Chains A and B, each alone.
Chain A
Amino acid sequence: EVQLVESGGGLVKPGGSLTLSCVGSGFTFNTFSMNWVRQVPGKGLEWVSSISSSSSYIYYADSAKGRFTISRDNAKKSLYLQMNSLRAEDTAVYYCARSVKAWYEAFDIWGQGTMVTVSS
């Protein structure tokens, strides 16, 4: 079964850091671009960041630039999102998602999401 499983969410104070992980299974992880998308509970989806299959190309939303770092370890079939200088507005469910073809085309497999709460 093709699957993505996120972990690492939790409660963190403003200004703090957190690293999210996502493990893929059931597909050849190292041939797909991967992404992070977040969703404030009750609100819409927001694209956060994307990384190509070999990590050669990385893209960020303006809201993530300079604070978040996306990375991957193909040997471990894992995707990461390191989040620094966290703000209350970063509170959301964070999903990892696989790209269909090129990184920007569409996201066909999604994890169940991990909740990040930024609060003092």
Chain B
Amino acid sequence: QSALTQPASVSGSPGQSITISCTGTSSDIGGYNYVSWYQQHAGKAPKLMIYEVNNRPSGVSTRFSGSKSGNTASLTISGLQVEDEADYYCSSYTSSTTVVFGGGTKLTVL
């Protein structure tokens, strides 16, 4: 199972909005609504930000939102804040009864 495809890096200024894409296939993202997104600050464990494509766990800011179209999922962060600077990973359930992660995207808040 190949990793989902994410851009290596994205950047934005405080207050702006950014979107991180995550591209898979019909065997993972396109076939199931089990896409999740994780935030990982340097040296820390990942934190769940979005699950089931567009659901936020309790305590996660409403500035984070998820969507999916075909084989591509997206994470949008609005009103960028300095503390949003981190690595972001998408993941999906697959038809092989496995879970696959994306390669990760480094978000820089300029």
Chain A residues proximal to chain B, CB less than 8 Å:
35, 37, 43-47, 50, 59, 61-62, 95, 97, 100, 104-108, 110-113
Contacts and interface: CB of A to CB of B under 8 A. Distances in A.
B89 A44 contact: yes
A5 to B, nearest CB: 11
Given A59-B97, A59-B98, A110-B47, A47 B57 contact: no
A47 B98 contact: yes
A108 B57 contact: yes
Given A100-B48, A110-B45, A111-B45, A45 B57 contact: no
B93 A104 contact: yes
Given A62-B1, A105-B93, A106-B36, A47 B46 contact: no
Nearest to A104: B93
Contacts of B103: 44
Nearest to A61: B98
Nearest to A109: B48
Given A45-B38, A47-B91, A110-B45, A104 B99 contact: yes
Nearest to A57: B97
B91 A106 contact: yes
B54 to A, nearest CB: 12
